[in-house]
Amino acid sequence: MDNSRHVDRRTVNDLKPLEVVVLAVFPSLALVGIVGFLSWYWLRRREIDLAALGTDEQAARLLGESLGQAFVSAEVIEEVMTAFARMNSPTKRTLAMSIAGLIAQHSTDHWETLGPKILGVVRGLSAPLAGNPPAGSGGPPPLDKGDSTFFDPRRAN
């Protein structure tokens, strides 16, 4: 009589097809779940960060992110940011969205043509419109929030 114990050892070759599928699927699902959670967390954090910013800050962030993706010279970026700092809020948002769209749709084969296009957008938005008097030229003064003619729906009652 043999006193040694018989240990049943299974190898990979002994696995049934269903067991192989389970061994492959469950870790894959766990990995997909982790990646999904991390991407949701990153997007949610970015959404919260953007919600905390004012409209000018959101426009500046969009403009900075867009210019960071483009291969343009430092002089172009300097001119864009100088013009951006001088613009009013609606024009800042327009400039940021225009440049973001221009960079998103620009062919990566022709980066050298992007700088002049960006400067054209900036100069076009910086120029005073025909028929609108430049600031300080005797036109009607802008409304101040402390002015009694400024309508605030929260104060209407």
Q: Give me the residue label for tokens 């049934």.
A: 16
Classify 48 as helix, strand or coil: helix
Q: Kindly give the confidence (pLDDT) of every residue in the chain, 157 residues in length, as a single tens digit, with 9 standing for 90 and above.
A: 555 666 667 776 777 888 888 888 888 999 999 999 999 999 888 788 767 767 888 888 888 888 888 888 888 889 888 999 888 888 898 999 998 888 888 767 677 778 888 888 888 888 765 444 455 444 444 544 454 444 444 554 4
CA 129 → CA 4, 91, 114, 125, 142, distances in Å? 98, 12, 24, 9, 17
Q: Smallest Cα–Cα separation from 49: which of 74, 57, 94? A: 57
Q: What is the distance between the alpha carbons of residues 74 and 30, in angstroms, rounded to a whole number?
A: 45
Its pTM stands at 0.52
Domain boundaries, given as residue ranges, for the chain: 16-51, 54-128
